[in-house]
Chains A and B, each alone.
Chain A
Amino acid sequence: MPLRQQVVFLALTGLLLLVILELVRRRRLRVEYSWVWLASGVSIVLLILRYDLLVRLTEAVGAVVPTSTLFMLCILFLAALCLDFSVRLSTLTRQVKDLTQELALLRHEGEARVEGGAGEPAHAAPEERIK
């Protein structure tokens, strides 16, 4: 790989890594998500410095051009990331459902207590009173 390309891409990757670290530092990105991005940044650096590794991998998997190996790796990475997000979304969906139900049950309990105790009109939920 020509030196000029190496310098340009190293600079770009370095910037990417800095952005990731800054996001983590500002708590905009949770640490457990950041390692995937950091790992991908580091592997890009590795491939820029040691292009021969990519060539060897290309030969190993039987691809013709190193670029297609690179694209394959990118697509695999994105697919894995999407799968990971789907799993996290499923967890979040279940958690939101459980919390919603819990909230409804607690609100009901609270209303029943108000009804039994202070004699307030039980048919007015808090937000209806505000309206």
Chain B
Amino acid sequence: MLIVIPCRNEAGNLPAVVAELRAARPDDDVVVVDDASRDATAAVARGLGCEVLRLPVHLGYGGAVQAGIKLGLRRGYDVVVTFDGDGQHDPADVEALAGAVAGGADLALGSRFQAPGAYRGGLVRIAGRRLFAGLCRALTGVALDDPTSGLKALGPRAQALFATSRFPDRFPDADALVVAHRAGLVLTQRPARMRPSRNVHSMHDGLRPAAYAANMALSLLVAALGRATDLRE
């Protein structure tokens, strides 16, 4: 299994995040995608024994995570897990996600709403997630209750799809799930005990919340109306 950690300026958080991950998942490969950080993210990641993909120019979360997925796809991993570099995700949840993929799902999503006591974020974020979950369900019938979750396990078909230009690479959330659903992939969710980010500014703050919501709504619509993807393309 390959665990992809897209990072921008996470040199401060990486040691704790990677240490926790290694303790829980000693046999998995970890690749840190350094999204043109201005701090020592790449050097820190190498020092921790991770593989490092260094993007020479800043692409944002979507482009960074897609680079990691492409690496996983080329090496032929059965499962690629996307994992945040800011300490939000609990390595203990990876097992259930990987199990879901091994059990036949193409994509397993970590959901904070399935896990009692998980951190849910502020009111605005909760409302936003509910809105996108509702939109997602209305447009496609995909019932996943935490569509903005960054913790995902991808089987080979999901990796192949997300490596193409059909992947919404600006900010893949609910729209990526809709694209996957439209491509005929099997989606499922598992509990994930999310925690507050260690950062004041995460990669996810790049877009202002309102602009983000508007973009995501449009992206969802495009994903729902777009031509269904044929994976054989």
Residues of A participating in the B interface, judged by any CB pair closer than 8 Å:
94, 96-97, 100-101, 103-105, 107-108, 112, 122-123, 125
Contact = CB atoms under 8 A, between A and B. Distances in A.
B46 A122 contact: yes
Contacts of B59: 97, 100-101
Contacts of A103: 55-56
B43 A104 contact: no
B53 A108 contact: yes
Contacts of B70: 101, 105
Contacts of A107: 53-54
10 contacts: A97-B63, A97-B66, A100-B55, A100-B56, A100-B63, A101-B70, A104-B53, A104-B56, A108-B53, A123-B47
B54 A105 contact: no
Interface of B: 33, 42-43, 46-47, 51-57, 59, 63, 66-67, 70-71, 74, 165, 169
B207 to A, nearest CB: 16
B66 A101 contact: yes
Nearest to A125: B54
Contacts of B42: 125
Contact of B74 (A96, A105, A122): A105
Contact of B51 (A100, A101, A108): A108
Contacts of A122: 46
Given A96-B57, A108-B53, 13 more contacts: A94-B165, A97-B63, A97-B66, A100-B55, A100-B56, A101-B59, A103-B55, A104-B53, A104-B55, A107-B53, A108-B51, A122-B46, A123-B47
A100 B57 contact: yes
Nearest to B47: A123
Nearest to A108: B53
A105 B57 contact: no
A96 B36 CA distance: 14
